Amino acid sequence: MASNLVARRKGRVEVSDGGRQQALAAGTGRMWVGILLVPVLLAAGAPGLWAGRRSSALCLGLVGGWFKPNTLAQESSVSPFDSVATSQWWGVQLTSPGFGGTTLRLSTGMWTWRRQGELTILPLALDVKHEVIQGLAVRPYVAYGGALYWGWEGGWREVGRRPGEARGWGATLGVGLDVHLSRHWRAAAEFDYLYLMFRRDLRQARDYSGPRLLLGVNYSL
């Protein structure tokens, strides 16, 4: 009798634990289904809500931000908030009309590092930009591409006086967010990583790869 009673109690405990695990798994599954359905529902209802937004127009943009090469990471002057020791990254962008959420972006800019002399880097980049979610006012995207770089051991005034002392190439991979403010204007934020390698040393280094943070504004023509 006693052994039968103990066996029954163990069976109830096992059934109870199994039921709890099944209920927990079912609840977790419903939670993930709900999370995954949110962007789908938003994207489905967005075309009607944001029908006035322009997504297929030529865009001209201005960007500014901070670039921090890993080569200079040990230098205190590389802090992006130290305006005396280093300048921010400035640039202009031209983005093509979109096709299926994908656009081409041509950009250039300038970054100057100041410490015991100056180092100036000027890029010419071509990226592919793909919107992850289309039709919304806020649109996340991924961007990737390549670039040519010119470097000078000197300030920006040296750029126009002589050809680049060093040439290099690089690749870019990043993520960003476009915020459509009106029919023509939109703001953007992007964080990416630049792989940048020069053919010869500039200030005793060839590898100037590192992270970059950009903020910008774009106007649809």
Q: Are strands 138-152 and 118-131 parallel, antiparallel or unpaired?
A: antiparallel
User: Is 46 or 7 the better-scoring residue by pLDDT?
Assistant: 7
User: Is 44 or 90 the better-scoring residue by pLDDT?
Assistant: 90
Q: Which whole number is the average pLDDT over 7-31?
A: 48
Classify residue 190: in a domain, yes or no.
yes
Q: Within this chain, do residues 135 and 72 fall inside the same structural domain, yes or no?
A: yes
Confidence of residue 77 (pLDDT cuts 50, 70, 90): low
pLDDT value, residue 50: 38
Q: Within this chain, do residues 16 and 66 fall inside the same structural domain, yes or no?
A: no
Check: CB of residue 41 under 8 Å from CB of residue 194.
no
Does residue 173 have a pLDDT over 70? Answer: yes
166 bridge partner residues: 151
Query: SS3 for 47?
Result: helix
What's the total number of domains in the chain? 2
214 bridge partner residues: 65, 190
How far, in Å, CA of 121 to CA of 119, rounded? Answer: 7
What range defines the domain where residue 12 resides?
A: 1-49
Check: CB of residue 88 under 8 Å from CB of residue 110.
no
Digit-coded pLDDT (tens) for 181-219: 998 999 999 999 999 999 988 877 899 999 999 999 999
Q: Which whole number is the average pLDDT over 89-115?
A: 91
Pick from 77, 58, 2: nearest CA to 184: 58
pLDDT value, residue 14: 46
User: Is 148 or 70 the better-scoring residue by pLDDT?
Assistant: 148
- What does the block give as tokens for 187? 């703001």
Distances (CA, A) of 27 to 16, 30, 204: 16, 5, 58
55 bridge partner residues: none
Q: What is the CATH number of the domain that holds 159?
A: 2.40.160.20
**What is the reported pTM?**
0.68
pLDDT value, residue 161: 58
Query: SS3 for 37?
Result: helix
Digit-coded pLDDT (tens) for 120-164: 899 999 999 999 998 899 999 999 999 999 988 866 665 555 555
